Amino acid sequence: QRAAGLSTRSIKTSSKAWALDTIIRTCDLTTLEGADTPGKVRSLVAKAITPDASDPTTPSVAAVCVYGDMVPYAVEALGNRHAAGGTEGIQVAAVATAFPSGRASLAIKLADTRDAVAAGADEIDMVIDRGAFLSGQYGVVFDQIVAVREACIRPDGSHAHLKVILETGELQTYDNVKRASWLAILAGADFIKTSTGKVSPAATLPVTLLMLEVIRDWHRLTGEKIGMKPAGGIRASKDAVRYLVTVAETVGEEWLTPQLWRFGASSLVNDVLLQRQKMRTGHYSGPDYVTVD
């Protein structure tokens, strides 16, 4: 009910401009297809840096999200725009741990993670073992997250940020989503993430609200701020704005930064660009205005 109530909130025109830019700034521009190529990743990076070449006021996105073997191409294409070592710029996120199924041995999951970090990934998006979780083997899931977090540590002692994907569409109940959120945070997640985008339903507002409430409660207990990433199925600007309102009302506006909030999306950015263009010129451009993902 609370999620439904938050979704009906409206915002002023001045706030809408801010909201649209915030969506772009906090977006992980994503390609996770079997047919991905170095060329496709380079095109994705170009769009991440300059989402709208006709409007220099358009902000860059937070990160590009790719498969681990595509990380070197993303790092190369970003060049001095790569936010390596915590510098200002665009992060490279890599999915790992046998994404999206998570069906592999721990050794393979850790090798997958180490390879991506060694290639230059700033962030690792791992998947939990939903089979183990649904079987009540919570200790197994916890230990795997701890091990993957350790695999994110670089030789210099710094570490890639860890986003833990719950795959909420497979967890069956809200109680399970809440339990998995707590488990991931206790195991060391920097972010908790709804979905791989490969399972339906993916991100939903009620599930996101529930996960944000866990993040809020953790912050009240410890003072630590954990990030949140809804991913999959968010395609329209108006829907993304509802997520921003939910964040502000649940954990506070200080979460609306790339350090604590991300949208996992690809087509969402296209709709935001169309809405920005409408606000700027008073009309929508033709279908060729934005690139096709």
Residue 30 · residue 270 · CB < 8 Å: no
| 3-state SS, residue 52 | coil
**Angle 156-256-123 from CA coordinates, rounded to 5°:** 30
Q: Among residues 149, 132, 153, which one has the least CA distance to residue 141?
A: 132
Q: Specify whether 238 is catalytic.
A: no
User: Which residue of the set 52, 125, 129, 190 is catalytic?
Assistant: 125
> Residue 192, Cβ neighbours under 10 Å: how many?
28
d(CA 129, CA 139): 11
Would you say 46 and 79 are in contact if contact means Cβ atoms under 8 Å apart?
no
What DSSP state is assigned to residue 63? Answer: E
Query: Which residue in the list 112, 190, 193, 271 is annotated as catalytic?
Result: 193
Do residues 141 and 182 lie in contact, with contact meaning Cβ atoms separated by under 8 Å?
no
Cα–Cα distance measured from residue 22 to residue 179, given in angstroms and rounded to the nearest whole number: 30
- Cα end-to-end span (Å), the chain: 34
Helix (H) or strand (E) holding 92: strand 91-95
Our answer to whether residue 163 is catalytic in this structure is: no
Q: Which of 47, 109, 163, 229 is catalytic?
A: 229
For residue 153, give both structure tokens.
């540590």
SS3 123: strand
Residue 125: active-site member: yes
Whole-number Cα distances in Å, 43 to 25, 68, 177, 182, 193: 18, 17, 35, 37, 25
| Active centre residues (catalytic) | 125, 193, 229
